[in-house]
Amino acid sequence: MAKRALITGITGQDGSYLAELLLAKGYEVHGLIRRASTFNTARIDHLYVDPHEAEARLFLHYGDLADGARLVTLLAEIHPDEVYNLAAQSHVRVSFDEPEHTADTTGTGSVRLLEAVRLSGIRTRFYQASSSELYGIVPPPQNEETPFHPRSPYGAAKLYAFWITRNYREAYGLFAVNGILFNHESPRRGETFVTRKITRAAAAIRAGRQQHLYLGNLDAVRDWGYAAEYVEGMWRMLQADEPDDYVLATGHAHTVRDFLATAFEHAGLDWREHVRFDERYLRPAEVPALVGDATRAKQKLGWAPTVRAPELARLMVDADTEALAHAGDAWIDRPRLPAWTVQP
Ligand code: NDP
Ligand code: GDR
């Protein structure tokens, strides 16, 4: 019998890569999606097979991490072997504007899902999308033994989700793991995260569709990996003999400025001629440097990433150049929205 997985956050960057991976491994995949007035399935549309067809193995269900009763009925109906909790309000800057909503989705949402596992009485393995943002201002390199000091409402909400996941493991014997993932990017990255904002701008400026790129702190250091490789690590965590928490990271440090320089150079541009500072992109409290040590994942799971930030920057610029060519007049420069709103 094919294994069955439930993914929350399936319409997001990681959810789409994980759905692809699990389908390729022969899983039946169920995804939780939020009802919206427009379709929000662009990242998984290529996986669509008419559910009336016998070969269909991807099924979507309306639901929300804010709705605990719905999560119970859904789990009782689906009986997944594995649950991947990827859903979250995942933008750090936005979490300062919407701290309560972020706590409700990113923090309390996790305990709603864990309780739903317990109340529905199913036996399943549980993955929680934890984050390097937990480390905050604790200096690198960070590993599973490094203390936490989150710096945002997002980080604080993820801290609760981390501990409640561990608590369900200790209290109820649930096979529940935290993947503490450092930043990972791809051509499917949300357009307001800094890497994608940079690579979209590089493509648009080269094509004469944009003049300037407005950014905040260029000195922040991050450890950027490739999302498609990180979802493999998530899956491996749930195949281990014993539940444990794991860091996934490349171990390589780059500043935002480094990423910017590589991306613009690849587009044949000098970033200094186009980049402007906008204080609206600063955070009330910044996380200066995150660089992970993924030794445990390498030793126990055999997981090792191969794509580093410079290669990632180039592949994302290439993907955005191609997307721009196809979009034509439909191209929207979404990160420029602060001109009308305060969207980060
Ligand atoms: P995205 O922001 O791309 O995706 C978030 C997903 O969560 C979307 O599918 C979104 O749905 C869904 N979602 C948001 N709120 C709710 C809700 N209330 N109920 C149900 N679904 C909801 O994030 P990523 O794919 O980048 O990240 C996946 C997870 O990993 C997140 O939890 C993130 O915080 C965490 N993480 C990410 C890292 C990264 O570098 N990418 C690093 C470490 C952790 P919709 O499409 O409808 O908005
Ligand atoms: P991060 O990612 O906060 O690390 O969270 P983001 O790309 O938003 O910021 C990275 C760094 O770049 C600086 N920065 C800017 N950031 C944005 N978004 N826009 C800008 O214009 C800009 N200018 C400079 C930021 O200050 C920051 O230092 C991501 C998310 O995916 C989280 O969900 C995840 O948990 C962490 O990565 C690990």
Q: Give yes or no for residue 222 CB within 6 A of ligand 2.
A: yes
> Is 212 labelled a binding residue?
yes
What pLDDT, on the 0 to 100 scale, is given for residue 192? 93
User: Strand, helix or coil at 294?
Assistant: coil
The residue behind tokens 């955070």 is: 283
Minimum-distance ligand 2 atom for the alpha carbon of 196: 7
Contact between 259 and 193 (Cβ < 8 Å): no
Nearest listed ligand to the Cα of residue 224: 1
Among protein residues, the one whose CA lies closest to atom 10 of ligand 1: 9
User: For residue 130, what are its two tokens?
Assistant: 């934890």
Dist. CA 88 → ligand 1 center (Å): 4
H or E segment to which residue 117 belongs: helix 109-120
Q: Give yes or no for residue 343 CB within 6 A of ligand 2.
A: no
User: For residue 248, what are its two tokens?
Assistant: 């996934």
- Can you say whether the dihedral through the CA atoms of 35, 127, 46, 102 is positive or negative? positive
84 counts as catalytic: no
Dist. CA 334 → ligand 2 center (Å): 16
Is the pTM value of this prediction over 0.95?
yes
Dist. CA 194 → ligand 2 center (Å): 6
Print pLDDT tens along the chain (344 aa): 899 999 999 999 999 999 999 999 999 999 999 999 998 999 999 999 888 888 999 999 999 999 999 999 999 999 999 999 999 999 999 999 999 999 999 999 999 999 999 999 999 999 999 999 999 999 999 999 999 999 999 999 999 999 999 999 999 999 999 999 999 999 999 999 999 999 999 999 999 999 999 999 999 999 999 999 999 999 999 999 999 999 999 999 999 999 999 999 999 999 999 999 999 899 999 999 999 999 999 999 999 999 999 999 999 999 999 999 998 777 776 655 544 454 44
The residue behind tokens 């400025």 is: 257
Dist. CA 335 → ligand 1 center (Å): 18
What pLDDT, on the 0 to 100 scale, is given for residue 54? 85
The residue behind tokens 């490739």 is: 226
The residue behind tokens 């919206």 is: 36
What pLDDT, on the 0 to 100 scale, is given for residue 343? 46
Q: Strand 4-8: give its sheet, edge to edge.
A: 58-62, 28-33, 4-8, 82-85, 125-131, 175-181, 246-248
The conformational region for residue 64 under phi > 0 = left, psi -120 to 50 = alpha, else beta, is beta
ipTM for the complex shown: 0.99
Euclidean distance between CA atoms 233 and 179, whole angstroms: 8
**133, 168, 186, 214: which one is catalytic?**
133
Euclidean distance between CA atoms 85 and 79, whole angstroms: 15
Nearest listed ligand to the Cα of residue 96: 2
What pLDDT, on the 0 to 100 scale, is given for residue 329? 76
Give the chain's domains with CATH numbers.
4-185+224-248 (3.40.50.720), 194-222+253-286+307-336 (3.90.25.10)
Euclidean distance between CA atoms 107 and 259, whole angstroms: 30
37 counts as catalytic: no
What pLDDT, on the 0 to 100 scale, is given for residue 336? 57
User: For residue 314, what are its two tokens?
Assistant: 């180039």
